[in-house]
A and B are shown apart, each in its own frame.
Chain A
Amino acid sequence: MDKRWNSLRTTSKIIADKIKKGWIYLALFFTLKIMILKKFNIENKKARDLIPQAITVLALLSVIIYFATNAQINMGNRGISFGFGFLNQEASFDITFSMIEYDGSHSYGRAFLVGLLNTILVSAIGIFFATIMGVVVGISRLSDNYLIAKVAEWYVEIFRNIPLILQIFFWYFAALRALPLPENGINFYDISFLTIKGWYVPKFIWTNFNIFLLSVIAAFIAIYFINSYATKQREQFGKQLPATTISLSTLILIPLIAFLFLGVSLTFEYPVLKQLSPTVFTYAGGVSIIPELIALALALSMYTATFIAENVRAGILGVGKGQKEAAASIGLNKNQILKLVVMPQALRIIIPPTTNQYLNLTKNSSLAAAIAYPDIVLVFAGTALMQTGRAIEIISITMLTYLTLSISISIFMNWYNKKMAIKEK
């Protein structure tokens, strides 16, 4: 041990020396810069601007070159070459939860896809529930009922100030571990069972699912045309068409036709208790939602909901009182005021910070690795990295994936934001 500490001390001395040298170089750069400026009496703005930029670019380039050469030497020493060919190799490890077909004989590329889909799944669930809870809590904080406002306030104060990772641990290691074993699972009308091994829900079995999907898409296209027609009618002739009712009935009617006449049908496969051995029980059939997913989704949505609630509250408070009064004075009723005057303006304030929260939730879903939910970090940056040892490739792919996810969410939300923004004429 002493040897290691000694080597540590010497290396830290070397590093300290290097840092000292770095300072000297930096000081040298600046004195040189000042000297050049003074000597040639450069008052030209272009030249003055060029020097700091050149220094920054040079410094960045030298750091990158330094890292790259080191990486090359290190990889050469270990006998590995840079490349992404390993993605086609057999992964030979299993993943506990997968939305697509996967087993050990599939490739690393497929394992990556499984992890990515799991990340997207938990993020989507989290965003859905966080939005609902956030809106409810945010509106409750403005309730004229003192108790409700206080309860909402304390919900925000409590869940916002506890680290997310602790909340995930709490749900996973403490709360969900207190659930009963499969044989005494909490029974919801014999349809679904909540146990320590997960939540068993019925499985949907479709016949002619494609036709159903097409009918839903057709319904949405119809709704789009109905709405644009209704808007036209309203703007040109001042006629109010019951667009919402018509859209809703279209959404129900077209899939219903598919069910009745086009051979689409849906049956459920219910989970059934099965005995594996005298003491071990499990459920057969249905879909098992693993406790890792439940804990993660719960913690993510409850944590993010506090931030969304604050955004919603700020947004509604941000709409001037005069707006509501003006709307009331032209004879709009309470629902119309909320729908036509307050919400469109509040949404403009709410959306940008809420986008950030969606991004944060997606990034925070990577904490899955802490409780072994097989997301991209655990599967790819964890297991796959351990097996292949390709640190640079795998970490870069993982980071690039998150960057892509972040950028695509922000592009979508920017588009939505633009749609909602004030259109100045």
Chain B
Amino acid sequence: MVLIAKPSKNNIKTYVPIGLSLVSLSFLDVFLYAFFNLNLTAFLPSQLSYFLPLILGFIGFYLIRIEFSGISSLDILNKNINSSNFNALLTLFTIFIIIKSIPPMLDWFILDANFVGNSKEDCTGDGACWVFIKVWFNRFMYGLYPDAEQWRINTAFLILFATVGVSFFVSEKLKKYFILFLVFVFPFLGIKLISGGSFGLEYVESAAWGGLSLTFIISAFAILFCFPIGVILALGRRSSLPAIKYISIGFIELWRGVPLITVLFMSAVMFPMFLPDGTFIDKLIRVLIAITLFEAAYMAEVVRGGLQALPKGQYEAAKSLGMGYWRMNALIILPQALKLVIPGIANTLLALVKDTPLIFVVGLMELAGMIGLAKTNPKWLGMAMEGYVFAGLVFWVICYAMSRYSQNLEKKLSTER
């Protein structure tokens, strides 16, 4: 049939229905086999039966590949998934793999999964044991923070989200105060609320903090501090003063050349040696300093990219207006340079959030660490898959939302030149 006549506009009336039915037949065969374990072609030898959908689909796609057929939907189909033999094969493989992988995934996630119960014994199905997540949910969110005091974490985050939410709707004038509050007042207020120790709040030592809330706390503080340090380092690296320039270069390259995990090791075992005997700095603060300095070096390189991209005329214009170094940078250079590197800044912040699970090396446990703890609990052995899938989903949602937000911000702030 293939050899008789090349598919063209002349024989469109016969070839397209045959081709389409062959393609649908091949999909139907794979679908029935994957979902209902029903083999339509069981009467054929096993090898042939296995490859039959592929052959049928391939012939079908060949028959409907008619250029400028005059039917717009067929043209769109051909252009997007069926432009050549090779593309038709790729399309078939992709669709078959997707169809085949849906049922096991569906089974594991929902159909055979267990949702009700309180212990591992309630998980009788073959699928995921979501009971594990349900029982440990509190720990995954708050770590070992005492149950009775968890409202403090909730309140702190509620205030944060409320202020951020409200600031979107208020006028520009008020917005400034909201941002000032968020950057300079709230972080310290929030940390006081969570750590306690005054105003009649019970003191909760930082070793008990953990779970997703710790991820947020560390990320928020590291972002807050690493940004200004990064900007100053970037300016330092571009400075005309040699001592400042080389100190900045050395600092940036030192942090960028070593992995975060060794920096955390350093903050855990080496840093105490550098302090007077008896001084004790809280583990969380040490980790925070380490992460901040580490990410600040990366931030500095991103900001430097923006500074270099600005045309020299901007600097000269600012100087010709009689501006000094700081005024020139604060009012003319940085606003433009930072806008240029929003994607880079967003990537650095994303990397920071993704790096937070590493604090396990000093014994702090955020979400991934808590899952590690839960899965080694004798009553809940063998729950690693559920735990890490859950953590992966949570982190994915956070990081994907951040990257989307940065893309929107980039579009909003982009000024066409």
Contacts and interface: CB of A to CB of B under 8 A. Distances in A.
Contacts of A157: 400
A56 interface: yes
Most chain A beta carbons < 10 A, residue from B95, B278, B357, B371: B357
Interface in B239-294: 240-244, 247, 254, 256-262, 265-266, 269-270, 272-282
Given A165-B358, A366-B259, A173 B375 contact: yes
B90 A367 contact: no
| Most B-side CB within 10 Å, residue of A163, A364, A366 | A163
Contacts of B277: 70, 73-74, 77
Contacts of B205: 5, 8
A166 B395 contact: yes
Contacts of A166: 357, 368, 388, 391-392, 395
B133 interface: no
B81 A162 contact: no
Interface in A312-354: none
Given A56-B244, A57-B243, A162-B395, A15 B281 contact: yes
A226 interface: no
Given A70-B273, A162-B399, A363-B258, A145 B244 contact: no
B247 A163 contact: no
A22 interface: no
A174 B282 contact: no
A317 B396 CA distance: 27
Contacts of B391: 166
A8 B284 CA distance: 13
Nearest to B269: A391
Given A56-B247, A145-B90, A163-B355, A173 B384 contact: yes
A32 B118 CA distance: 68
Contact of A406 (B244, B257, B275): B257
A158 B393 CA distance: 9
Interface string A164-181: 111101100111011000
A169 B372 contact: yes
Contact of B273 (A8, A56, A392): A392
B109 interface: no
Given A163-B354, A166-B357, A369-B361, A5 B203 contact: yes
A141 B389 CA distance: 26
Contacts of A75: 273
A148 B384 contact: no
B87 interface: yes
- B interface, size bucket: 35 or more
B262 A402 contact: yes
A174 B95 contact: no
Contacts of B24: none
B221 interface: no
Nearest to A67: B274
B380 to A, nearest CB: 13
A13 to B, nearest CB: 12
A411 B368 CA distance: 36
A57 B399 contact: no
B31 interface: no
Interface residues of A, number: 64
Interface in A3-25: 5, 7-9, 11-12, 14-15
Contacts of A77: 277
Contacts of B91: 145, 147-148
A179 B415 CA distance: 54
B49 interface: no
A209 to B, nearest CB: 34
A395 B266 contact: yes
B80 interface: yes
A404 to B, nearest CB: 9
A165 B83 contact: no
A149 to B, nearest CB: 9
A385 interface: yes
B265 A403 contact: no
Nearest to B278: A11
Contacts of B280: 7-8, 11
B395 A399 contact: no
Interface in A202-240: none
Given A161-B403, A369-B261, A385-B269, A148 B274 contact: no
A145 B354 contact: no
Interface string A381-413: 100010000011001001100110011000000
B197 A9 contact: yes
Contact of A395 (B265, B275, B361): B265
A62 to B, nearest CB: 13
A383 B244 CA distance: 39
A391 B262 CA distance: 12
B124 interface: no
Given A147-B95, A173-B384, A406-B257, 20 more contacts: A8-B282, A12-B282, A53-B241, A54-B243, A56-B243, A56-B247, A57-B243, A71-B274, A74-B273, A144-B83, A161-B403, A162-B399, A166-B357, A166-B395, A170-B392, A366-B262, A391-B269, A392-B273, A398-B265, A399-B257
26 contacts: A5-B205, A7-B280, A12-B282, A56-B244, A70-B276, A143-B90, A144-B79, A144-B83, A146-B81, A162-B395, A163-B368, A163-B395, A166-B368, A166-B392, A167-B392, A173-B375, A363-B260, A366-B261, A367-B261, A369-B361, A370-B360, A377-B259, A395-B265, A399-B257, A403-B254, A406-B258
